[in-house]
Amino acid sequence: MFLASAYRYRGHVLTVLLTRHGHTALSEPDTYLGRRIVASLSDEGRREAQALADRLTGVPLDRIISSPLDRTRETAEAIAAGRDVSVELDERLIEFDYGSWEGLTVAQAQERFPDQFALYDANPAIHHVGGGENGEQAAKRVSALVDDLLSWWAGEGDRTCLLVGHSSINRALLAATTGVPLPDYRRRFLQDFTNLSVLTWEDLDQGPLLVLLNDVSHVRGTTGNTWS
């Protein structure tokens, strides 16, 4: 449940909970899984998803929206279990298209494509990774999803939605919604497995408040903040 003090002065609020899928068997070493590599949750990933589900027990979720990939869908379904809400699949939350880098580890991509890697590292907003998608394209599609959520809420009552995505698309969403320059989305934001990040809107035109970012206290078994 939420601590009342966190909401003492609020009006009607749209709350967007954002998380990344759980650990997969292909998560180590760090790999560009993208959207074409089949990767289901590992046992560790299922434990992480359940830990987040347990943390959110008692938090009302009006909608749960997930990327359609197996690893995100499994995570979303673990959280939806026992709730009167179904998982909605939305292509706009799918991970970046990493093109020819998909399936490569970070070290392999850097070794095989050093010039491309340097361009990507310098400005991931405009560089098309492996000939695939760049940050600007990804931010555009996920921003359209956020716009749809704002229209769904429209300032009427309190509504809460959980988005289950991936590391890169989540960071692009956070940058686009909070006004962080898009070239910095990888540098300024982290999205660990089944983290909890929270954005709230009290006004359609003023943008969100970033209440919580990349909190994994539920996975580590520690007490982190006012969201329990």
Domain contains 225? no
Domain contains 135? yes
Domain contains 228? no
- Token pair belonging to 179: 């006004």
Going by pLDDT thresholds of 50, 70 and 90, the confidence category of residue 4 is very low
Cα distance between residue 64 and residue 57, in whole Å: 14
Going by pLDDT thresholds of 50, 70 and 90, the confidence category of residue 9 is very low
Domain contains 172? yes
On average, the pLDDT of the chain sits at 93
| 64: β partners | 87, 162
Asked whether residue 11 carries a pLDDT value surpassing 90, the answer given is: no
Q: Looking at the whole model, is its pTM more than 0.75?
A: yes
Overall number of domains in the chain: 1
- Dump pLDDT digits (tens) for 26-81: 999 999 999 999 999 999 999 999 999 999 999 999 999 999 999 999 999 999 99
Active site residues: 21, 95
Residue 153 structural domain: 12-220
Residue pair 48/220 in contact (Cβ under 8 Å)? The answer is no
Residue 62 confidence (pLDDT) = 98
Triad 76, 218, 75: Cα angle to 5°: 15
Domain contains 1? no
Domain contains 195? yes
Domain contains 5? no
Tabulate helix, strand, coil % of the chain (nearest 5).
40, 20, 40
CATH number at residue 146: 3.40.50.1240
- Token pair belonging to 12: 């009607």
Write the DSSP symbol of residue 41.
B
Domain contains 24? yes
